Every structure is written in structure tokens, then in C-alpha cells.
Structure 1
């Protein structure tokens, strides 16, 4: 893999109805219905809306035999209307359902965590080597007949591992780790290979983007070590809705797409399924703009670990670098000082507009030509002005540095002046590649100045800005290179929204928290309460909080597991019933939906009296 120049990973071809995956096929876009799979008319209508929006696969939950059998009627309903979209059955807990679904769907998703293994209990169980081997044999005995059915019916499968549903068996041997998630997938994949079944797609998902990115990177490495090149389905589970869902998805999925990984994606939003498709389409199209970009020279630093990167060691300067949280710089050269108090930037760059009205206690950056040692104001230099830096006594300085302008003089200047914070710029179509090349060069040359990534856009649409900016810096965050962000937009969007986007990116990358984080699933046919309404009510009551993670889950499939690092959980327990969790512990069961949000707020308040 070339970390600096975009090229798509070459995966084997998987046949899924009339829309093959992998190889030279396009990156496919998909979504999942949230209708009851027993409701043929509703499922057909929603599948049509997904396809009309641009979806290329449609997944439906099949929690029982009846749902699996009704895929036949849904398929007939779609084909009779001229829709040839492949259908994907989503199976959990019952392998018999997978056997039936394989007769009527073009692809069946199975979850290794609950295909044969008992439902996760979150108890510490010990397995001897013999017991572990016996469990694997049990999987083989149940899985091979399913593969035989799939072969006979030309049905593809997806081995879909979720962070929230690893089995107790895997947990006992590997713990709740990326290595455990990969092994959970590989156990099933090795059986497929041994049985010469090759129409297999793989996915490993998590609501934690750091876990998701690291695990997919590791999966690809392990597959290549074993001579396997199966295509990948990418997604961030329980990403949420609105700007949070878009930023989180673009950050995680975009980081992998940018490295050429991924053959189909689903952006999981807690919204109507068809709303996911345009977001996914924008993300894929934006990343693919990097194809054929000008060559970026770069060499990977020896100490860099792509699978488990550590934060780059930097010299702290004021509140930048070192062990400090990444900063946010905002450009306000036009004098518009509108600020959202929740997302107040750490520094405001005003260029030469020195006469703007100052906000109390705010830090400012001005061009060196107008800097006069005013308190809380720091000089900025461009790469042609390094000879003047010695004359400025400021304890903190900023250097705007286009990546490709780095030379020996600038390198010497940075080594001499640890008080300089680099604001890295690029006009390359592949922002990521050029920024990576700069940071790897810094690693090799032992340059420890903090680096803030400057990202320039000209967007009038908030969603476009959120998707593009998150996709551009995701891998840089996961690589451990981000000491700060400076997202600058030339379009008409208010600067406070641009600031919120920068803070949202840092939070989605798990490196700085500025608001409550919501882990919410998109819903499916298993969801038996009004998920979107519940999310809106929970957000309205808790949006002012800063350091909490609240999970709102439609059902138990990934509920407690995907909420592993959430503080509180709101999980569907049955028709119109909700159970509440504190961490992974269920504290109240089967609450009527009408009362559940109020009960959740009571639970939060009782454990956080100061909020």
C-alpha cells in the first residue's frame, strides 16, 4: 500500500445478483430498510425509494423464518416493478433463518458473534484449548451446510463482525480487541476458503471510529498474510443522525476509502434509509476525485506503525502539541466574530485585520507585519518570511507552510525554533497524501514542532463541508498526526458552523470532546418503537452536556455491546418497550416507550447531580 498516492486495493470479485462487487466494479452504495420484513408492500416501497436515491443493494432484517420466507414476496414485488436490486438478508442468532434466506436473497449477512455461539453474556468465561477447538468444530458443522445451500442458489454471503456482538468465546481468548474482531471474522472465512466458497464479502464495524479503522486495517493485513483478497463492506455502526452522523461516517469510512480500502459502503444514519444514499454517494465520489492525482513523493518513517499508530511526539508550545488536546483555529479575516459558545475556537486568525472588535480572553493570530506584542495575540509567518522570525520575541509563533515548499532552510528554522507551530497547507487533490508525506518527513528528521492541518473549502452546503473536511483528515487523526485543525470555508456558511464542524471532527476521531456524544442506530425491522422521535427527545434534553456518551439503540442485537464505552443506554426491549442501561448493566427493564425518555433523564440526573 502506498500511503501517499491513492490507488484502490484490488479485491476478488463477488457475484451478488446482477451487481458484482470487488475487482474493477465501482464502489457500491447500500442501505437497509426499517420496515417490518413481513410487510411486503411497505418493504417493497421503501426498497424502491432506496434504489431511486441511488442504492445498489438493499438489506432487510430477517429475525425469523417468516421474515426470511417473505423475502420471496418482496423480491417478486420489486422484480414485477422493474427493480432488479439485489436483496441482502440480515441474520442474527438463528442459523436456520440463514438457510431459508439463502433461497430468496442474493446475499445473506451472518454475524459470527451470534451465528452459533450463545448470545453474549458479558461474563468472564474460560475455555480450554480443547473446549475452544470443540466450539470451532461446532461452527464448521453448522456453517458448511449453509455454504452448500448458498452454492446451489448462487447466493453470496457477508461475514459481518460487529464490535458490539463478539461472542463470549472470542472474548475469553482475545478480549474486546481489534485482534478478537479480526479472528472472529477469519474463523468463518477460513472455512469458506477450505470449502472453495469465494462469493464472500467481509465487514468489521464499530461505533468507535478508532476501533473500526484499526480493525479493518488489521483485517486486510491478516488476509494478505494468508493470501486472501476478499472485498470489504465499510460502515460506522450507530453513527447517529444530522451533522454528527455525517461527520462520524465520513471520518471513519473516508479514512479507509482514502487508503484504497472498501468495495461497498453503508452510511448508517438514524434517519430514513433513503437519506443515507446521497451522503454515501458524496463521500465515495469525493474520495475518488483523488484518482490520477499528481505524484506525491514520500517515504514511510521507520517508527510509524500503520496498524497501531501512536500520537506523534511533539514539543508543547503554550496549549499546542505535547499532551495537550488538539486545538481549533478559526479564520475570521472578514471581521465576522459570531461565536457559538459551545464551540469557541482556541485561536482566531485575522490576518492583517488588526482593528476588529476583540472578544475578551480570546487568543488571536495576526500576520507578522501588524503584530505589536498585544497580549493574547501571536504572529503568523509564511514560508518566505523565515529570515524574520528571529526578530519576533513572541513565545508562540505560527508558520503557514505549503507541504511542497519545505526546504533545508525551513527545516533548519523549525529545528532552531521549537516555539513555532506549523500550519500545514496543501492544494493537492489528495490532501491526505501530501500532509502524510510532510509528517513522515518530520518523523524521519526528528522535527517535533506541533502541526495544525489547514483545510480550505468553498462550500455553500453544510453537508458537503462536513463530508469533505472529515474525509480529508480522518486518516491523519487515526495516524496520530493531528495537533489541531484549521477548517476554512470561503462559501456562505456561517463561521460558527465551520467551527462546529472542526470540533465535530475531533470528537468523532476520539481526540477531543466538546459535546455529548450520541451512539444511535439507524433502526430496522427489529425496532419496535419510534427511534427517530426518541433520539430527538433525548438530544433536546441532554444536548447541553459535554462529557457524556448516550446510546439509543433499536434492539438488543448490538445494544449492550456497542454501548461498551457509553455512559447510558436506551435499548429497545420489545414492542413499545425500552430498557435502560448504566454502562453495560441493565438498571430498568421494559419501560413503556412514552415514559422511557423521562426515565433516562432521571437516571442521568441521579448519577450526575452537578449537571
Structure 2
């Protein structure tokens, strides 16, 4: 049972992967995956060594066929000869026979329930009787038993890796394209492994959609607990992308679970060199460890809150905050900067700017401002300027003045632990008040959750904006030299906001930093976090895979070209996939897909429907743009 307010690691069994133990009291392990061909021994060894040198504790390699699986023996031997002892994991799709071979030479084998025995997806509607469904499950068991026996004989661990993008037609037609279907796809395999007393298992459930990923893992943990299973979990957001957006998206999804004590090994999937993933993963695990042994938060869970099936908390809108409105972004600027736009023209602008006690001489057009209540009161009494678009903010000590000031929206700063009698009565009397939830607690998530649950229990429906304050400067010195202060801010804020967004508690985000990070970067990080949590789309989203030995074209160059050509298409989701393993499946969450179909050949998708086959790579980006423009013109 998850404690929503007090951090503790989920209790799991221990899985042995070579000399590496995962789960139990062991630290959260970090890993990555090579992008080289597994036939290329020297290239794979060199890349694996770079991953390990960066701090990777396990290296995964794709094994499309028996030849690649057999070459794991040479790769493994060379790594050991070079003094590298990190275990290897073979990544197997579509061919159960390859898994049998890989289990001889790798310390761990990843199999995907969506394509281990079930045929390739057609995305067609098929009906299974209960008897037919049971027969399909028996086929899976019959094929798994030989593999289980090989793994037992060779002390090979297994990762059961379910991807949202590669659910079988059988699962999709019985359970739909849902978190429940993702979980059942995993549980079918787990029940067979347990039946044959094989327990060196790690489980992963991934999606490019952070909401689906988090909800599915939460459901899986509950289902495993119900059936007495406590296997360790591997966390990751598939096709997270590259750069800042990829890092923030990964931190939102992975962090939302780690912050609740869920997760025993992680992989941050970035469309970059694999060793670049390791510092990000290590920072996530370090930050979560900082939550340990915090002061107890004596909070109570609201009875109508459903952790496994969360929905947005019901609120009464105050202006454009709460209700059915998308979450707002509040920024802090000094008066001399508040009248000018510090953002680039194509970037989203904050909904409100807090200027403390001093308004700028000239207000920016269509911009809303937040002013300290005493300065607001003085301005109102002076009659020197209109108060349209200006709103007061109150500390707890200023509550008696809330009823004295007239404004459509007012802000009240609260922390959990503040005596509730006065502020609960005030909030019920003043639905125009937006709660600004602050915290200085070691466990930000638990403390801020606690305040909102206190409001829910009391039946208070005022909107809540989460205020997150950090201290990062370019002069900072710590052990994470590979992670810049700006990236540290982005990762920490994404982790702290992840579960709050997934729980449906977020009506706004006020991100602050006491340091020299550019204000534009702070503000755009807030927007990026809301987009990663699927709460507010403000720019084009790219669902791009990290690449592996299956990638069939120049992935990184292609991503750059597509990004440059589509960067102004706000809200558009473009999938850029190296191969067909997850490509078509993840198209359900993308408007368009660009998928490797063969060497230097690309197929284009509209959602999950392939609309152009085998386009030469050098022409494919232009074909994608033509498809998007044709569809846009057709809607006009």
C-alpha cells in the first residue's frame, strides 16, 4: 500500500542479474542500451564500455536474430577481458527462438509479451471466445516453458517488458488500448513464470505517454500485490525524445513513480548517444534518495481520491484558473522586467507575472499581474490607476484583508501544517481565492499532496497552484558535473510535479529559482513540465526513439530536420521511430509517424494507419510535410 505522504521504497524480492542484484534493499540501478549493430563486436564493446564508464550498471543490446544473439558471446567475452563486469541484457522481439539462444550468452533477456508468441499486430477487430482465448494462453505457456528451463540452467534473469506501442491484437481486442490491457499483458506472463517457480524477473511497463505509463505501473503494482507478487520494476518512458524536452518528459514519468517509492532500475531513453542517458538517470536516483528519512507528514488521504484511477480534482474556476481551464503558469519578475517580454516571440508567455510590491510604469498588453496585497490596497485607495488585470496575493497573516479587497481573482499562500480553522472558512467563503501551495519540506510531493487532501476532505473546491522554489546557479559545485544547473532545476521540478499532475491536483505551476538561471528558461521549463504531464500543449511534441541496432536510417539527423520543419505547429505530435517494433503502436499517441521500414526506407503513418510505404529516406521528410499540409488544408 502506497503512503501518499511519507516516502518509503516499495518492498520487492531480489533479482540476480549476473553479479548485479536488483530490488530489495539495493539502490535503484541505472542502465542504457547500445545503438550499434550487435553483429559489430568491436563497435558494441566500445559503446558498452562508454556506457559503463559513465556509470551504467547494465547494458542492453538488440538481438534481432540468432546471429546477433550468438555474437553476444563474443561481446561478453571481450568486455570481461577488458575488465568490465557489468551484465548484458539481450533485447528480443518477434522471435522466441532468439530468446532461447540469447539466454545462453547474456545475463538477462528481455522478452516482449506483445510479440513473443502472439502474431504481428494488424490493429483489426477480432473476437475471441473464452475457449479461444484460453487456447492462446496455452500456446504462450507451451512456448515459454523451454525458455524458462534454459534460463534456469544458465542462471539467466528475465525482463518481462511490456510496451504500450506493441500490445498484441489479442490483448487490445479483449481489454482495449488501456492501462488495464497493458497490465494484463504482463500478468499473463508473470503467472506462467511463477507457476514454474522462476523468480529472477524484472518487469517493465512503458509508454511514450507519461500518463499511461504512470497509471499502468500503479495498476500493475496493485495487481501484483493482490496476487502476492513483489518483483522489482524497471522504469522508463519510451520514445521520450532528445534534449531538454526528452529529459523533462522522462523525469516527469519516472519521477512520479520513484517519488512514491516505486522502481528498482531505470533507463532514461533519449535520442542521443547512450552514454548521455546515464548522468540523467543517476541524477534522478540521487534526488529521490534525498527524500529518505524525512520528517513525518501526519496527513490523511481524502476518501474520494482514487490513486489507481485518478481524475482531475473538482474545482470552482477563479478567472481562468481551475474548473475546466488548462493549468496556468505564473512567473516571478522584477518590475523593470515585467513590462517587457523576456521570451522569444514563438514561445508561450506566462499567464500571470508576480511583481512583488511594485508594478512597472507601463503594463504589457493583455498580461495579468500579481501584486502584494498591501501594495494592491494602497493602489486601490489612491485611485491612481485602473486595477484591470492586476490581482492581489496574501500571506496567511493577510487573510483578514481578503474580504476588504475587490478582485475577480485573489491568491493566498498556504503551507501544510498551517492551522486550518481560519483558512478553510476563508476559502469556503471566497471561491475567487486561488491557493498557492508552498513547501519547504524535504519531501515536497508528500507535503504538497497533504495540503490538497486536507482541502478535499473539507470539501473546499478552490483551485490550487503549486509553487516550487529552487536554488541553482552557474557557480554551483557538486558531484554532478555532467548535469548543468539549469538541467538540475528542470529535472528536480519535473520529479516534484510528476505525481501531483498524475493525481489530477494541478491547476497551475509557479516555478521559481533563486540563482542566475535565465528567467526565460525557468518559465519555459514550467510549460515543458505541464506538456510532459499532458496537461497543456504549447508546442510541437516529438515522440522519438533513442535508436538501437534495429534503427534503419540516420535517426538523429532526421529528428533535427523534422524538428526544424515542424517547430511552429503547436500541439502537433510527431512520432519518429527507427523500426516497427513500437513504431505503429506508438502512433496511437501521435498525429503522424515516421517509421523505418527497411534499410534507408521509411513509411509514413497517420495515427496507426500507414499511408505511404517504403519512401527513400532522402525524400521522406518532404513527404511527411506534404502529408501534414494536405491534412491541414483539408480541415480549412
Query: TM-score when scaled to structure 2?
Result: 0.95
Q: Is contact 1:335–1:353 with CA below 8 Å preserved after alignment?
A: no
1:197 aligns with 2:212: no
Measured against aligned partners, the alpha-carbon deviations of 1:519-547 in whole angstroms (never above 9, x if no partner) come to 00000000021101100110011111102
- Counterpart pick for 1:370 among 361, 364, 375: 375
Alignment partners' CA distance in 2, 1:225 and 1:356:
62
Other-structure match for 1:165 = 166
Within a 5 Å distance, the mapping from 1:558-573 to structure 2 comes to 558-573=582-597
1:443 aligns with 2:448: no
State the Cα distance separating 1:403 from its structure 2 match: 2.3
1:501 aligns with 2:506: no
Within a 5 Å distance, the mapping from 1:149-188 to structure 2 comes to 149-188=150-189
Question: 1:143/1:366 Cα in 2 relative to 1: closer, same or farther (>3 Å)?
Answer: same
State the Cα distance separating 1:493 from its structure 2 match: 1.4
Alignment partners' CA distance in 2, 1:595 and 1:334:
50
Other-structure match for 2:348 = 343
1:99 aligns with 2:112: no
Alignment partners' CA distance in 2, 1:186 and 1:406:
46
How many residue pairs align between the two structures?
A: 611
State the Cα distance separating 1:334 from its structure 2 match: 6.0
Task: Indicate the SS of the match to 1:519.
Answer: strand
Alignment partners' CA distance in 2, 1:68 and 1:599:
36
Which 5+ residue runs of structure 1 have no aligned equivalent? Answer: none
Alignment partners' CA distance in 2, 1:605 and 1:589:
19
- Counterpart pick for 1:511 among 522, 535, 545: 535
Alignment partners' CA distance in 1, 2:125 and 2:272:
36
State the Cα distance separating 1:215 from its structure 2 match: 0.3
State the Cα distance separating 1:465 from its structure 2 match: 1.2
Q: Is contact 2:31–2:265 with CA below 8 Å preserved after alignment?
A: yes
State the Cα distance separating 1:356 from its structure 2 match: 5.2
Measured against aligned partners, the alpha-carbon deviations of 1:222-280 in whole angstroms (never above 9, x if no partner) come to 00000000000000000001111011100000000000000000000011100000001
Alignment partners' CA distance in 1, 2:368 and 2:119:
56
Q: Is contact 2:90–2:102 with CA below 8 Å preserved after alignment?
A: yes
Q: Which moved more, 1:164-173 or 1:226-235?
A: 164-173
Other-structure match for 1:39 = 40
Alignment partners' CA distance in 1, 2:498 and 2:621:
33
1:586 aligns with 2:587: no
1:523 aligns with 2:547: yes
Other-structure match for 1:396 = 409
Other-structure match for 1:245 = 246
Task: Indicate the SS of the match to 1:329.
Answer: strand
State the Cα distance separating 1:456 from its structure 2 match: 0.2
State the Cα distance separating 1:336 from its structure 2 match: 2.8
Alignment partners' CA distance in 2, 1:491 and 1:357:
26
Other-structure match for 2:10 = 9
Within a 5 Å distance, the mapping from 1:463-502 to structure 2 comes to 463-502=487-526
Other-structure match for 2:59 = 58
Which 5+ residue runs of structure 2 have no aligned equivalent? Answer: 381-386, 474-484
Other-structure match for 1:602 = 626
Measured against aligned partners, the alpha-carbon deviations of 1:551-606 in whole angstroms (never above 9, x if no partner) come to 00000000010121211100011111111111111111111111111111111111
How much is the aligned-residue C-alpha RMSD, in angstroms? Answer: 1.1
Q: Is contact 1:113–1:165 with CA below 8 Å preserved after alignment?
A: yes
Alignment partners' CA distance in 1, 2:584 and 2:128:
23
Query: TM-score when scaled to structure 1?
Result: 0.99
Alignment partners' CA distance in 1, 2:343 and 2:556:
29
Question: 1:565/1:184 Cα in 2 relative to 1: closer, same or farther (>3 Å)?
Answer: same
Alignment partners' CA distance in 2, 1:123 and 1:503:
37
Q: Is contact 2:237–2:269 with CA below 8 Å preserved after alignment?
A: yes
- Any runs of at least 4 consecutive aligned residues in structure 1 with deviations exceeding 3 A, and if so which? none
Alignment partners' CA distance in 1, 2:111 and 2:403:
63
Alignment partners' CA distance in 2, 1:432 and 1:333:
28
Alignment partners' CA distance in 2, 1:261 and 1:216:
9
Alignment partners' CA distance in 2, 1:486 and 1:406:
24
